[in-house]
Homo-oligomer: A and B are copies of this chain.
Amino acid sequence: MTITTAFIGLGAMGFPMAAHLARHAQATGGRALVWNRTRERAVAHAAQYGTTAADLQDCAQAEVLFSCLPTSAQVDEVIDHMGAHLRPGTVWVDCTSGHPDSARRQREHLSARGVSFLDAPVSGGTSGAQAGTLTVMVGGPTAEVDSVRTQLAFAGKVIHVGNTGAGFAVKAINNVLLAVNLWAAGEGLAVLGRHGVNVGAALEVINASSGRSNASENLIGQRVLTREFPVTFTLGLLAKDAGIALDVVESVKGSAPVLAQTLGLYRAAAQIIGENEDHSAALQLIERMNAQEIK
């Protein structure tokens, strides 16, 4: 079956994700539309990958419509703009790191137009997006999830985690775990540094031992010890995701004192260090708290 897909939001993640949709369309005889708030970026994508830089009204007619935007609020805006142009039967696959409450609201809102909504955030970073090996965590009814599996051309793994909102909830919890693991490693290394321990050697030990995490293995060595803190995922966005995680905790009246404290510390880091810095720069707040560089 040849179908038309549209991809809304060509950011650091969306740009390479949409490229995989383009390849898939070319292989199957389908069409791949793209849209971006700054239209130049869509035009560049079209030039590079053979997609079509469309307007939102055209995108609204796609059979599968992807979005990947900074927050659920921007998705709401796009939905509002498309409004009556939406085509009954379309499946909207939202890859934003969104809010479970928004997912439920958006699904209900879109169902009035005959459009179904799946929350389908991704993990794997920009390298996974380029390689087409992203993990997609999907919330929604099983049949609808299964109906779009073959369209997720950017995915290495698609995991159906529960009903509407579950995809966003799992993404938020994953990201707050990243936040906790990163922060805790920062506290530990700062203290070892004050102790006169060789921090690089200590990190090497931890990465060969039980205390290791993705954060210790793939962030601290490359971003903190090098003092580079390259901005690929901002502190503000990680704090936002940790905030969604706490909303998930609150929505079930859960008890999660460590997640809750850590959110508070990331909010503080975003204020004091800067929300546009890389998320690894949260450890600069730990450095100030301890008057000790982590290096």
Q: Taking chain A's interface residues, is the majority helix, strand, or loop, or is none over half, making it mixed? A: helix
A180 touches B180 (CB 8 A): yes
**Which one of B174, B211, B245, B247 lies within 8 Å of A181 (CB-CB)?**
B211
- Interface size bracket, A side: 35 or more
* A196-B162, A197-B162, A267-B254 given; A125·B210 CB < 8 A: yes
Q: Which of A22-51 contact B (CB under 8 A)?
A: none
Contact with B along A220-264 (1 / 0, CB 8 A): 000000000000000000010001011111111111111111111
Q: Which of A156, A163, A197, A259 is most buried by chain B, counting CB atoms within 10 A of its CB?
A: A197
Q: Which of A100-130 contact B (CB under 8 A)?
A: 100, 123-125
Q: Which residue of B lies closest to A135 (CB)?
A: B208
Task: Tell me the bound Cα distance from A197 to B156 in angstroms.
Answer: 21
Copies of the polypeptide in the assembly: 4
* A208-B157, A214-B212, A289-B268 given; A248·B181 CB < 8 A: no
Q: Which residue of B lies closest to A191 (CB)?
A: B254
A188 touches B198 (CB 8 A): no
B289 touches A166 (CB 8 A): no
Report B-chain residues with C-beta under 8 Å of the C-beta of A176. 184, 188, 211
Report B-chain residues with C-beta under 8 Å of the C-beta of A210. 123, 125, 174-175, 178, 214-215
Q: Which of A167-205 contact B (CB under 8 A)?
A: 169-170, 173-178, 180-181, 183-185, 187-192, 194-198, 201-202, 204-205
